Amino acid sequence: MQYVEVLRVRRVLLWFLGIVLGMVILSIVSTYAGTHGDIHAGGGTLHFADLVLGCVFGAWIVTTCVAPGLSNESALTAPIVWTRPLSRQQIAWRYVAVDVAAITLGYVALIAVAMLALAAFGALGIVVTEPRAGATFALGLGAAMMWYALVLLVSARIPARGGMIAGLSWAVFIAIGTLWAAPMPAPVHAVFGALNYLNPMAWIGGVSSASHHSVQHAVELPMPLQILGCWAIAAVAAVVAVRLWATREV
Amino acid sequence: MIAMSGLTKRYGGVLAVDGASLEIPSGSVCGLLGRNGAGKTTTFKCLLGFAHPDAGDVRFDGAPLSTTTFAHIGYVPERPALYGWLTVDQHLEIARRSQPGYDPARASELVSLFRLDPRKKASKLSKGQQTALSLIFALVHRPSILLLDEPASGLDPVMQRVVLDLLIDAATSGAAILLSSHQIGQIDRASDRVAIMRDGKIVVSGELDALREAARIVEATFEGAVPSDVAAVPGVTRVEYAGSTVRVHADGRADAVAARFGAMGATGVRVLDRSLEDLFLDAVGEGSMD
């Protein structure tokens, strides 16, 4: 039954990577055209972990594109999806597995495209690899999964509104982060601080190597706890979402 | 066999299905009739587990609805539920991957029968073609239980006949079929049983021939006034007077009632058969004996 979701995420990934590659090619062409092929990488270094962290933005785009799938199934095509000889929970988890794979693939592919772009600009040498890149990837992916599961949860009982909820999630998460950072009375600040724990953007806010201890971050935990926190929220939200989806009426 | 007893479903203050009971044996087509909002679609939803009944019991071949039951159920919803961005072929692929009983030869046969282009996207199909694709999806694994909510809507008369023939074939092969339609002619042609819903209740159900027999009307004309005791004749359930003529419902004993009227001095006696449409209009409270 996950066949439909495989086709759906394939379409999303093709569009996403097509646009990203197109942008990269366009910038390479325009750069080479402007410099007549005389490209020099600037000085300095780029930590691979920071590149991985930056690419999480792409994973979030893929996330918000694939997350509405399950919600739409129960609203629009339940006569197909819910009349298969499979339990609804099984069907839902298969969809989730496909979506998780797509988000991971999108994230990895974007990192690969970024490396290719650097190579094309002759700047691959500035990339510094370090062991924390793996943990950063785990955190970035965890934040994407958290985003995915929260959209799944909110849209589980709202028929055919998965797309709208996924789109609005960007505005909501940005607003929470912005309001938390804005000067506010302490109680209001505390409320947004608490809400930030459900904000995937906040979980990666303090990870960059360029960050300083003088800057306050929304979610400040040791890296392993931060990774665990993201994935745990994602797992709990997904379990509840699947249960709600599987027991809803149409 | 499809069996439901005391099925009740309430949405807030609205009783959508009110204690509906029905049995459809294998090899039988039961036509489900009712006005809009009578509770037909909600009944289908309760049968399939799409809606959770507040009370009552649903059984398929003696067992309650479970995951495995869906390997034997074919369902056509009131409105085609298809993936507009997928082709006919891709819809069949969904069925192939998800139904253990998928029959590829049957799939090809049905696609040809309905003259669908396998490469065409569902969103590009006409309404009738979308209905046809829904039907193919429901029939392609040769289910023993068919739940069909307006399965011929949007189809041209030729295709409607094809669909009814398919249903009759399926019933002949032993399928139990619940068929809802607003087109009484379709029900009349395909069904051997009928159930009529009004305000969530099944107000009439049974074998179509028996219902017709029970609903026959006797019309008698007398010289002068109609005798006052016609209502007391055994079998008479409802009487309408029109001058020296009386028309009565005869509760399945039309011939005996006619003979009795003759003995009471009627100068002319006729037994009138009633159509399914008459039965329906009577059952939903819109009928008369005219």
Give CA–CA dist A208/A197, Å, rounded.
18
- Domain that residue A230 falls in: 3-247
With an 8 Å Cβ cutoff, is A76 touching chain B?
yes
Phi, psi of B279 (to 5 degrees): -60, -45
Tell me which H or E stretch contains A195.
helix A186-195
Among the partner residues B52, B68, B75, nearest to A79 by beta-carbon distance: B75
Q: How far is A92 from chain B (nearest CA, A)?
A: 14
Q: Would the pTM count as exceeding 0.90?
A: no
Confidence bin at B57 (pLDDT 50/70/90): very high
Q: Measured between alpha carbons, how far is A10 from A5 in angstroms, rounded to an integer?
A: 8
Lowest-pLDDT choice from A38-52, A105-119, B109-123, B190-204:
A38-52
Per CATH, is B2-207 categorized as 3.40.50.2300?
no
Residues B259, B197 contacting (CB under 8 angstroms): no
Q: What is the pLDDT of residue A38?
A: 55
Question: Going by DSSP bridges, is the β-strand pair B238-242/B245-249 parallel, antiparallel, or unpaired?
Answer: antiparallel
The whole-angstrom distance between A248's CA and the closest CA on chain B is 8
Q: Nearest residue of A to residue B138 by CA position? A: A80
Q: How many domains does chain A have?
A: 1
Q: Is residue B109 scored above 50 in pLDDT? A: yes
pLDDT beyond 60 at B12: yes
> Which residue in chain A is spatially nearest to B69 when comparing CA positions?
A85
Is B216-273 the same fold as B2-207?
no
CB contacts < 8 Å between A and B, how many?
58
Q: Regarding predicted confidence, which is higher, A36 or B23?
A: B23
pLDDT of res. A215: 47
Tell whether B136 lies on the interface with A, counting CB pairs under 8 A. no
**Interface residue of A82, A83, A87 to substitute, partner B, most B CBs within 10 Å:** A83
pLDDT tens, residue by residue, B243-260: 899 999 887 788 899 999
**Given this model, what pLDDT does residue A211 score?**
45
Would you call B52 and A85 a contact, using CB atoms and an 8 Å cutoff? Answer: no
Average pLDDT over residues B66-88: 94
How far apart are the C-alpha atoms of B7 and B44, rounded to whole Å?
11
CATH class as words, domain B216-273: alpha beta
Length in residues, chain A: 250
pLDDT at position A217 is 63
Q: Which residues pair with B10 in a beta bridge?
A: B15
Low-confidence ranges of chain A (pLDDT < 70): 34-43, 206-218
Q: Confirm or reject contact between A115 and chain B (CB < 8 A).
A: no
Q: Domain map of chain B by residue range? A: 2-207, 216-273
Percent of chain B with pLDDT over 90: 73
| Residues A85, B77: C-beta atoms closer than 8 Å | no
Q: Is B251 on the interface with A (CB under 8 A)?
A: no
Angstroms from B151 CA to nearest CA on chain A: 13
CB contacts, 8 Å: B141 with chain A: none
- Please give the pLDDT value at position B105: 96
d(CA B290, CA B276): 14
**DSSP-derived 3-state class of residue B141:** coil
State whether residue A35 sits within 8 Å of chain B by CB. Answer: no
Residue of chain B with shortest Cα separation from A90: B67
Q: Average pLDDT, stretch B149-153?
A: 87
Which is it for the CA torsion B62, B66, B67, B73, positive or negative?
A: positive
**Beta-sheet strand order (sheet of B55-60):** B14-24, B2-11, B55-60, B63-64
